[in-house]
Structure 1
Amino acid sequence: MKIAYFVDEFPPFFRGGLGTYASEISRQFVRRGHSLSVFSRNTGNDPTSEIRDGLDIHRPRLMKTSDIISMVNPTEVRTWDENGQEFFAETLLYNLLSASKLVNYLVFKEKQHYDLVVSHDWLAALAGITTRKNLGLPFVFHFHSTEQGRNPVGSPTIKDIERQSATIADAIVTVSYAMRDELVSYGYAEHKIRVIHNGVDEKKYDPSRFLPHQIELFRQKIGIGHAPMILFIGRLTWVKGVDMLVLAMPHILKEVPHAKLVILGVGEMDQMLSHMVHN
């Protein structure tokens, strides 16, 4: 199967966990005999096209659009600050340039054939919608989170993009049954939704890669010793719920008195979590 794969972040560009997910899962597709053309955001100096690890990667170079932002941004987006408006305009441009590269160049000029279109989250949704409209290919839309889940108020524009993408998509993929239930509660078609949990590379995280004394030294170094450990790895942002984990620790300690919580990550909740822990 040949897949057109729209994902906003892809190496060398990482914003959060989505870039890691896309990097890992795309290589697994290749190992299983599929062919992927990945379309990702160009941060300025990234190669516009390259073959890496068997992947055909495209990063259309974005152009400066500051003079026309007010004309292309929806009314609600115009209430955002200048950086937010610029980001939205760049995201729109990334989507349109990526879809154009696929439709006009790879398909119509080079005569490449594709079987499936995949987009991840609202940041790459418009490219998937545009491609489906022009090529008539099956469209799969991935929800890794929702605008309402990230921010109860959120942006009506982003919510509209998510809803339109889910309506047009032939299938919706999300990462957990909790996320599926959230989508259903918003009125998304349940029969379209498939839950596919994020995978783990068992070789990368195999404890046998390390000698027992190396593990013991590391546990001593971070102050855990032989205590039971709860390990959180992720971006320190509201949607991850790490604050709930911190609040749960007094209750956990009643059942497991020597348990330790280790938090590994950075994000906008960093200072707040530090304050919670020390108070």
Structure 2
Amino acid sequence: MQVLMFGWEFPPHISGGLGTACQGITTGLAANDVNVLFVVPKAYGNEPAEKIKLVSASDIAIPAPGRQTQKVQEALTFFEVNCPVVPYLSPEAFAAHSEPEHGIATTVEGTDIPVMRYAFRGGYGKDLMKEVWQYALTASTIAEQHNFDIIHAHDWLSFPAGIMAREASGKPLVVHVHATEFDRSGDNINMQVYETERQGMLKADQVIAVSELTRQTIIHRYHIPAAKVTTIHNAVAPAAKAAAPAGERMFPEKTVSFIGRVTYQKGPAFFIETAAKILRQDKGFRFIMAGSGDLLHAMIAHAARLRISSHFHFTGFLKGAALDRVLSESDVYVMPSVSEPFGISPLEAVRAGVPVIVSRQSGVQEVLQYALKVDGWDTDAMANAIYALARYKGLSSMLRRESAREVAALRWETQGALIRTLYNDVIASFIS
């Protein structure tokens, strides 16, 4: 089976769990004899893509504005009508509207046919929405250049690309929802992002949700038929190698870690307020917040106001060996998210031998029975749970042992088999 897959990031160039999940999914599919052509806006050349073929959209020459096929024009018009922020334009005007200053105009070799390449910056900068639409334009050309059985698009950033590829190729589309705008923004949603998500789910032939929590959001807040949405949980890759014997610890105190984007969704303020409650009673704790995000500076100031900065450490975004070091130092891992569609980092903590506390407002709590679970905003319950895991060895040891067994059974190869089965069902229904 051949799959054309669209994503926005791929390790090691990631900003969070989306890229990690994409790598895991492609690995799991490869183990089930599924060949994946994975497209990103910008490839860097050092991605570990041994089991898949990675394509950089920046390298793809597409027809110059005004030369799109009829199917692509129809798809463009669909997005223009349904997206409330993008103006109502003709396909030609829409393409011109999307053209960046850094687009490179050329001609097809040996002809005078005009084409252009978009020099994607990738990432999540101020031109994000523009690049999402440019990526969609490029996707139609990629779909016309390759043979495949099905299209798979990850998160709203790639949904327009998936729809354009579907229209250009006539092949079925699966969209994979790793987070919704309600998770990221609460009730203060960006309507342009919401509408992009909704149109992607409506046009898809099947929707994959990373948890039952997310599935219910898709059904009730995006009004997608329940039969069209399937839950397939994320997994975690096995440790690359056995952890090195622990050396001298950085801190003599019990260490509690938070690993994730420092944004509203992840509940960083609750973690800091919990730390303050514990430290008022017991100075034998250190707290680490590993991550970056729009609330980072506000959280540093919040810790200072609570007078806990001497026991609180902000590391910025970590990955690789630096992240492994934080986990090796941790006695407790906490994920206090307000709304977390899944959450791979608790699985990584369990894999590293750290007992975890997770929010009841998370998808990962559906697959982790041996974790302490609290409401993300309940700082009293969170403080009690942290103290219990840090001070009572029997409880900590039991959770480490049993949660490790759970995580060992949650493998990408197994989830890849579930996704392949879903592909087969979608293709069979599409043909019939």
Q: Same fold (TM over 0.5)?
A: yes
Question: Which residue in 1 is equivalent to 2:9?
Answer: 9
Conserved 8 A contact 2:140-2:168: no
Q: Choose which of 285, 288, 294 in structure 2 pairs with 1:268.
A: 294
For residues 30-74 of structure 1, give each alpha carbon's deviation from its aligned partner in whole angstroms, at most 9, with x where no partner exists. 23321000011127xx46xx99403111112279xxxx9xxx986
Q: Choose which of 259, 263, 273 in structure 2 pairs with 1:247.
A: 273
Q: Choose which of 191, 208, 222 in structure 2 pairs with 1:156.
A: 191
Moved more, 144-153 or 82-91: 82-91
Question: Which residue in 1 is equivalent to 2:165?
Answer: 131
Deviation at 1:179, TM superposition (A): 2.2
Question: Which residue in 2 is equivalent to 1:37?
Answer: 37
Kindly report which structure 2 residues correspond to 1:107-146, keeping only aligned pairs within 5 A, or say none: 112=147, 114-146=148-180
- Tell me, in whole angstroms, the C-alpha distance in 1 between the residues paired with 2:282 and 2:226: 39
Pairing 1:198–2:230 present: no
Q: Choose which of 168, 171, 177 in structure 1 pairs with 2:206.
A: 171
Question: Which residue in 2 is equivalent to 1:189?
Answer: 225
TM-score normalised by structure 1 residue count: 0.74
- Tell me, in whole angstroms, the C-alpha distance in 1 between the residues paired with 2:229 and 2:125: 31
Alpha-carbon spacing, 1:76–1:168, altered in 2? closer, same or farther (3 Å): closer
Specify the code of the residue in structure 2 equivalent to 1:142: H
- For CA contacts below 8 A with separation 6 or more, give which structure has more relative contact order: 2
Deviation at 1:192, TM superposition (A): 2.5
Deviation at 1:272, TM superposition (A): 1.8
Kindly report which structure 2 residues correspond to 1:200-239, keeping only aligned pairs within 5 A, or say none: 200-204=236-240, 208-211=242-245, 213-214=246-247, 217=248, 220-221=249-250, 223=251, 225=253, 227=254, 229-239=255-265
Alpha-carbon spacing, 1:258–1:141, altered in 2? closer, same or farther (3 Å): farther
Alpha-carbon spacing, 1:84–1:259, altered in 2? closer, same or farther (3 Å): closer
Deviation at 1:93, TM superposition (A): 1.0
Alpha-carbon spacing, 1:230–1:174, altered in 2? closer, same or farther (3 Å): farther
Look up the SS of the partner of 2:159 in the other structure: helix
Moved more, 149-158 or 139-148: 149-158
Moved more, 18-27 or 246-255: 246-255
Question: Which residue in 2 is equivalent to 1:90?
Answer: 131
Alpha-carbon spacing, 1:51–1:209, altered in 2? closer, same or farther (3 Å): closer
Specify the code of the residue in structure 1 equivalent to 2:40: S
Look up the SS of the partner of 1:61 in the other structure: helix
- Tell me, in whole angstroms, the C-alpha distance in 2 between the residues paired with 1:271 and 1:25: 34
Q: Bigger radius of gyration, 1 or 2? A: 2
Alpha-carbon spacing, 1:267–1:51, altered in 2? closer, same or farther (3 Å): closer
TM-score normalised by structure 2 residue count: 0.50
Conserved 8 A contact 1:42-1:60: yes
Deviation at 1:198, TM superposition (A): 2.5
